[in-house]
Amino acid sequence: MPKKDSKDKAPPRALEVVGAPPAGRARAGQPEGSSGIDFESVRVLARIAAEFDLEEIELNGAGHLRVRRGLRDGGVTPLLAPAPARPIGLTPPVDSADETDGAFVTSPFVGTFYRAASPETPPFVDNGQAVRKGQVVCIVEAMKLMNEIEAEADGRVEEILVKNGEHVEYGQRLIRLSKS
């Protein structure tokens, strides 16, 4: 489940860009002894923030980037760890309603997600694997019962969204399938 950071009590703030990428670059007009903020990167980040309607982008010296979409969507993306040179990939908020680029296997209960029936057996499915409607794709354990979760339609496993052993809540997306 995507980690939440601190609870947001304040209403959505104006765009806030925090920190700076590690690369140092020469800039015109930068006063002596300045903080060393790379304004070109800041401008790029600000444009991206506007394009994707973000409330906050945070970039720290270790190359960790975090973006936040704002209170009303309830969407908080997990900490991404690419170097700043790469394009910023945004994971859409978990509860965005009109996702049409794939079908999702969602959890019917609160519990713990497992990719296999037991630690000794292989996972039910892997990335790229084709699945049939009714095929067991994973397990959600709730109250000591291992519930087998089935694919609702034929498809191909595109992405496994949850880590093995992670806790999941009702309605949480577990596996993304493409319609095959």
Partner 1 sequence: MGIRSVAVHSTADADALHVRFADEKVCIGPPQARASYLSIPALISAAEVTRADAVHPGYGFLSENAHFAEVVKKCGFQWIGPQPEIMRLMGDKVSARATMEKFGVPTLPGTGVIETDRDAEEAIERIGLPVIIKASAGGGGRGMKVVENKSRLSAQLNAARSEAKAGFDNPNVYLERFIARPRHVEVQVLGDGTRAISLGERECSIQRRHQKLVEEAPSVALDDERRAKLLGVARKATERLGYQTVGTLEFLLDEDKQFYFMEMNTRIQVEHTVTEEVFSVDLVREQMKLAAGEPLKLPADIRPRGHAIELRINAEDPVTFAPSPGRITALNLPGGLGVRVDTHIYNQYLVPPFYDSLLAKLIVRAETRPAALARLRRALAEFVVEGCKTNLDFFRRLLANAEFVAGKMDTHLVERM
Q: What angle do CA 109, 178, 97 make, to 5 degrees?
A: 55
Site for partner 1 contains 165 (CB under 8 A) = no
Among 37, 63, 142, 150, binds partner 1 (CB under 8 A): 142
CA dihedral 127, 132, 135, 136 (to 10 degrees): 20
- How far apart are CB 1 and partner 1 at their closest, in Å? 9
* Binding to partner 1, residues 54-93 (CB under 8 A): 72, 74
Residue 102: which region, alpha, beta or left (left: phi > 0; alpha: psi -120 to 50)?
A: left
CB of 110 to partner 1, least distance (A): 4
| 138: contact with partner 1 by CB under 8 A | no
Segment 101 to 130, residues that bind partner 1, using CB under 8 A: 109-112
d(CA 177, CA 180): 9
Q: Which of 171, 178, 179, 180 binds partner 1 (CB under 8 A)?
A: 171
